[in-house]
Structure 1
């Protein structure tokens, strides 16, 4: 047998030095897990940290609203399921501001659809209500009703569109369907058929998303916040002494809220496993959501979908053990909490001059931000976030401040992933892991009068 010998020339000192230079900024970490495994990350300079954060978080500004969203894991499977919207609406009485944060789960189909559909539907519904309202109708009550109906309508439409896939709603007939027929119904429609495919209807209905929506009217006198799920809305205000203080505006709809767990248990008093491990049926953390139809319908639909739908966004082995717990649905609510907050000042509604520094801010965020503040109460988080943003605002308004725009959402995001600790921020942005090391995190910050 012939042997081939490869003669490698020893590297020169300059080549060795160049090789060392290429890896000198790399380090390893256990990601605070305490185990033997180590992952590599790159130590960035301060300017490189700022550039990388902007690249990954894609900050945007629309009028008085800043937004940023981060999921640093590069793996396609773990790409962000958060969505956000910032829009200015021309309504019959003037320009309103619409902001929203959506936190999807299970798949991308539901959150993509709802984040795209809610704004247009809500805008049209609001315009119609404002045009037709009686002279004595109260705007706060009117808008609150429109918000609640719009969110419930879109969820109900997801469910009804899915139910229309099947020729019958009778349990016996559904269970009697041949598996090949079920697979056909849950597959793509033929080109001649109209509307979403059976697959897309099932995906939109069985995936889920939370929704946190804010509206500010044309006079900037009223703020409405509507919430389904565990996103967080915080109102920050600057008091007479110049101190920024924050208040959580919404109830958190997940298993961390004892009131939500008790509500579900009271609706299903004979079912000890309707909540388990602080999750709905032991599976879902949010106690209210859009979609997740399998937690709102009889168990037969979950059985059909989980056995016969060909999808990479769920595992039948994981899902099917939860299905026998479905006895008296629905277990998941689609009813939002809607809050109205007057924005008048102490002088009876006179607005702050447009060239004055904002004295109030609204922060909307997905639960990824609260996850980064483990150990804090929600009120403590609210105070921390508002002080970070408020101090940034105060520095912008100072006499020696630069005139360039500062994205307040990006500033809060930077603080949450490490702040001034460049090494920690570098780690969180560049760690080489195949799985997520932080939840999807989306932040919207709106300057209010």
Structure 2
């Protein structure tokens, strides 16, 4: 088994962890939104927490992992509650004064309580893949919209099998779930975003869309600036009758898959496939990516792929070929685009001819 890792950062909001542990190898991708704070914090703690609980004899393994996510996410907001008396309702006139709020929560990153509170305000998605030591099984833990995809050879063609769940406003099942949890409320998902605001439907953090206390969400949390949820969002909530949080979930979905010798696994933040937004149909993007993984060109991409010369970091080459290939003009455009999303990729080659595990990182 060989493991290749690479990234092309723009906003520096992605974090990637590769963790060998007792039962195998864990790959984790954290894609932060509105800052890198929670992606950084979660990447330092959550993978080891999952590794510590990963017991193949546990009949309730999925539930154990879900509970770790739930507990971890709740721990992000508890420090904010701890700053106030237990019975505080935050509706009093004193909380209309920003000075009174900052006296409690601090004034900036130099104040520990402010810095810690920020972790509840911003967010991150999480994708975890666990490959057992025999390389026969893969567990995929999905929270958000990063991808785990298995490339499997069928009729001399590498076919993509998406093995992660996509928790965002493009997933009809997620939209139905949200509306089922909030009966009678309309327009919860607008413009493919939760409350017209957040593209993902599940993530760590983002507690302004989770806490039961609306005064806390509206009158205190925005002072952990910069607040990603603007006043207009809450005004729209009032207009549309959205008063039954949480509207964001921290519950991951978990699946186990059987692996075959020769499978190639690709774990990627959403920036890889989304980079094709304007020129490749959504349903074709992973076909194109798997063509590139197998060393083939794909006319749907619009340019030729860079060919490897000597030992090659497959993950790095995949990013380059997906974004621009040999097209120098496209390369200059992508590398100069400040609005481009971060792209993080880990490629795992399960070919049995390789007896060692090697990590290549650019």
Q: Bin the TM-score by the shorter chain.
A: 0.7 to 0.9
1:156-201: per-residue Cα shift (whole Å, max 9, x none)?
A: 2112233222223543666654733321221179x9xxxx932123
Structure 1: segments with no counterpart, 5+ residues: 1-62, 73-78, 346-351, 353-358, 393-400
Kindly indicate whether the alpha-carbon contact (under 8 Å) linking 2:272 and 2:344 is maintained by their aligned counterparts in 1.
yes
**Partners of 2:159 and 2:49 in 1: CA distance:** 34
Residue 254, structure 1, aligned to residue 171, structure 2: no
**What does 1:29-48 align with in structure 2 at a 5 Å threshold?**
none
SS of the equivalent of 1:152 reads helix
TM-superposed CA distance for 1:71, in Å, is 2.9
Q: Which moved more, 1:253-262 or 1:324-333?
A: 324-333
Pairwise CA distance, 1:292: 0.3
- The residue that corresponds to 1:10 in the other structure is none
Please say if residues 236 and 362 of structure 1, whose CA atoms lie closer than 8 Å, have aligned partners that are also in contact: yes
Matched, 1:166 2:84: yes
Task: Return the alpha-carbon distance in structure 2 between the equivalents of residues 175 and 213 of structure 1.
Answer: 45
Match of 1:229 in 2: 144
Q: What is the distance in 1 between the residues matched to 2:75 and 2:92?
A: 21
Task: After TM superposition, give the deviation of residue 258 of structure 1 in Å.
Answer: 1.6
Q: What are the ranges of 5 or more consecutive residues in structure 2 without an aligned counterpart?
A: 297-306, 352-362
1:444 aligns with 2:346: yes
State the Cα distance separating 1:152 from its structure 2 match: 2.2
What RMSD, in angstroms, separates the aligned Cα atoms of the two structures?
Answer: 2.8
Partner residue of 1:339? 255
Name the count of aligned residue pairs: 335
| Larger RCO of the pair (alpha carbons < 8 Å, separation 6+) | 2
The answer to whether the Cα contact below 8 Å between 1:247 and 1:383 also exists between their aligned partners in 2 is no
Specify the alignment match of 2:100 in structure 1. Answer: 181
Shift of 1:278: 2.0
| Equivalent residue, structure 2, for 1:289 | 203
Measured in 1, the distance between the counterparts of 2:51 and 2:227 equals 32
Aligned to 2:14: 82
**Per-residue displacement from partner, 1:80-131 (whole Å, max 9, x unpaired)?**
2111111212x2xx5x1110111111222211111111122112222xx45x
Aligned equivalent of 1:152: 70
* Partner residue in 1 for 2:46: 118
Structure showing greater radius of gyration is 1
1:219 to 110, 129, 134: 134
Residue 295 of structure 2: SS of its match in structure 1?
helix
Name the CA distance, whole Å, in 1 between partners of 2:342 and 2:185. Answer: 33
Task: Tell me if the contact between 2:149 and 2:267 (Cα under 8 Å) persists in the aligned partners.
Answer: yes
Residue in structure 2 matched with residue 362 of structure 1 by the alignment: 265
The CA deviation at 1:235 is: 0.7
TM superposition score normalised by structure 1: 0.68
| Distance change >3 Å, CA 424–CA 307, structure 1 → 2 | closer
Tell me the residue number matched to 2:292.
Answer: 388
- Tell me if the contact between 2:130 and 2:138 (Cα under 8 Å) persists in the aligned partners: yes
Encode CA deviations 1:304-346: one digit per residue, 9 max, x unaligned.
235533x346475565545646511111111111110012x4x
Structure 1 segments, 4+ long, off by >6 Å, are: none
C-alpha contact 1:248 1:378 (8 A) present in aligned 2: no
Q: Find the residue that maps to 1:445 and give its secondary structure.
A: strand
For 1:387 and 1:83, how far apart are their aligned partners in 2? 26
- Match of residue 421, structure 1, among 294, 317, 327: 327
Name 1:57's counterpart in structure 2: none
Matches within 5 A, 1:131-142: 133=57, 142=61
